């Protein structure tokens, strides 16, 4: 057993206390007051455990962001860890309870478990006086669950100065596999204008925006390709005013997912080129690609193989997998920075009522990250 893993196992109860403090400080993305209170807890834990530099990046509409630094580093390139402390849960939505070595509660799995293991990974490096030529920058946002509108610029700026990126997001259940690929995401809005009229007196005089939207939906669904990992979901439609009135307006919100950057370019081109089927209607498309995919390339495989070797030394096999969901790791991967995701502890139930983390896995996951940092700083 490695000295780092042994140290962390000896401090598992303290790791559990850190996690519980973060979970009890509930942090809904849309409640700045609560998220800021959680951010203060996070900052205090970092200063107590690691004692490095803590920079607060104030925000007006969402919780404040935090940029923590471990080490000084001689080299210009740094190692970046990105995470978030906001959750999808409103205050009091889920009970917090510990049963049979499992902690249940809002944000346990997504992603306060990952915050906890990162803090303690850095604590372990400090305990063993492990510093290197690269500093470690640990950036934590407060708006990931609502699209990272206020944190994306900072994440991408930090990524450009980084040699690699670790993302302690929730792992893949049930085996705590890491994520070596994630799909990219695009969001499109389709607005249709038609020609209104009386549906009974002269039903053929108008041009229904709803009928045009129906035809456009069929056309958009042709872009989906299960084998290539491309999905097109029309998640919201609105239109019309009354049953006896030919619809003048119709509207749709569309989510697309894809596995390669080239697919993103093609999908964006196809959506922008949508043209009307019915005379008298117009089609207006807005939106576009939100995040490029995290692709499983040679550099990502290298990071995974390194983690897999560390895990084997700890007595278990570290598996890998893919996710259809996106994270802030998509931003860094989209810039070409080697990024590996899903480094959070074993658990399940992200965004669901049984969200939880397996507490005995906390030392293993912290040791995994700590030893990966040790190899690369």
Using one digit for the tens of pLDDT, what is the confidence trace for 217-262? 999 999 999 999 999 999 999 999 999 999 999 999 999 999 999 9
Per-residue pLDDT band for 144 (boundaries 50, 70, 90) equals very high
Question: Where along the chain do the CATH 3.40.630.10 domains lie?
Answer: 3-183+293-376
Q: Given pLDDT bands bounded at 50, 70 and 90, which one contains residue 131?
A: very high
b/e for 110-149, b at 16 or more Cβ within 10 A?
Answer: bbbbbbbbbbbbbbbbbbeebbbebbbbbbbbbbbbeebe
- 18 - beta bridge partners? none
pLDDT tops 90 at residue 353: yes
Site of tokens 């923590």: 68
- Max intra-chain CA distance, the chain: 84
CB 359 within 8 A of CB 104: no
CA nearest to 1, candidates 368, 365, 313: 313
DSSP string, 118-168: HHHHHHHHHHTT---SS-EEEEEES-GGGT-TTTHHHHHHHHTTEEEEE--
Mean pLDDT to the nearest integer, 123-149: 96
Report which of 175, 98, 159 is spatially closest to residue 365, judged by C-alpha positions: 175
Q: Tokens 């994440």 label which residue? A: 155
CATH architecture of 184-291: 2-Layer Sandwich (3.30)
Whole-structure pTM over 0.85, yes or no?
A: yes
- 87/363 Cα distance (integer angstroms): 23
Structure tokens at 295: 């692709």
Answer whether residue 53 shows pLDDT above 90.
no
Intra-chain end-to-end CA distance of the chain, in Å: 22
**Kind of pairing between the strands at 320-323 and 356-358:** unpaired
CATH code that applies to domain 3-183+293-376: 3.40.630.10
pLDDT at residue 132 in the model: 92
Which is nearest to 164 in space by CA: 335, 344, 289?
A: 335
Model confidence at 76, pLDDT cuts 50, 70, 90, reads: confident
The closest alpha carbon to 191, from 239, 234, 233, 223, belongs to 239
The Cα–Cα gap between 28 and 62 comes to 10
What does the DSSP 8-state code read for residue 109? Answer: I
Every domain of the chain with CATH number 3.30.70.360 lies at: 184-291
Do the beta carbons of residue 137 and residue 79 sit within 8 Å? yes
Paired strand residues for 277: none
- Measure Cα distances from 134 to 17, 47, 78, 374, 376 in Å: 30, 20, 5, 10, 8
pLDDT band at 312 (very low <50, low <70, confident <90, very high): very high
pLDDT of residue 52: 85
Report strand pairing: 320-323 vs 178-182. parallel
What's residue 257's pLDDT? Answer: 97
Question: According to the model, what pLDDT value does residue 1 have?
Answer: 63
208, pLDDT greater than 70? yes
Beta bridge partners, 166, equal: 81, 340
């Amino acid at each position: 057993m490695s000295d780092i893993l042994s140290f962390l196992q000896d401090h598992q109860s303290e790791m559990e206390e850190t996690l519980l403090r973060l979970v009890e400080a509930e942090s809904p993305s849309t409640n700045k007051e609560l998220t800021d209170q959680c951010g203060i807890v996070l900052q205090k834990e970092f200063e107590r455990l690691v004692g490095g530099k803590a920079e607060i990046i104030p925000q007006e509409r969402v919780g404040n962001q935090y940029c923590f630094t471990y080490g000084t580093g001689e080299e210009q390139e740094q190692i970046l860890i990105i995470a978030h402390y906001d959750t999808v849960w409103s205050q009091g939505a889920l009970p917090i309870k510990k049963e049979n070595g499992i902690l249940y509660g809002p944000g346990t799995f997504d992603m306060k478990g990952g915050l906890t293991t990162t803090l303690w990974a850095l604590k372990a490096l400090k305990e063993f006086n492990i510093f290197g030529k690269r500093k470690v920058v640990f950036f934590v946002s407060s708006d990931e669950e609502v699209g990272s509108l206020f944190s994306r610029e900072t994440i991408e700026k930090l990524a450009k100065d980084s040699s690699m990126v670790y993302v302690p997001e929730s792992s893949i259940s049930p085996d705590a596999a890491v994520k070596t690929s994630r799909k990219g995401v695009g969001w499109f809005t389709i607005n249709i204008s038609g020609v209104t009229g009386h549906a009974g007196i002269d039903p053929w005089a108008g041009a229904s925006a709803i009928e045009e939207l129906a035809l456009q939906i069929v056309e958009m669904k042709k872009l989906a390709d299960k084998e290539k990992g491309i999905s097109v979901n029309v998640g919201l439609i609105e239109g019309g005013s009354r049953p006896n009135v030919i619809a003048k307006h119709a509207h749709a919100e569309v989510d697309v997912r894809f596995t390669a950057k080239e697919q993103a370019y093609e999908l964006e081109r196809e959506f922008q080129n949508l043209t009307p089927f019915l005379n008298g209607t117009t089609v207006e498309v807005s939106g576009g690609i939100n995040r490029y995919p995290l692709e499983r390339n040679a550099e990502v495989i290298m990071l995974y193989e390194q983690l897999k070797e560390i895990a084997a030394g700890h007595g278990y096999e570290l598996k890998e997998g893919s996710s259809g969901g996106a994270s802030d790791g998509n931003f860094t991967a989209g810039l070409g920075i080697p990024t590996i995701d899903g480094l959070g502890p074993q658990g399940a139930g992200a965004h669901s009522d049984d969200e939880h983390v397996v507490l005995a896995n906390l030392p293993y996951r912290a040791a995994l990250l700590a030893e990966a940092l040790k190899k690369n700083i």
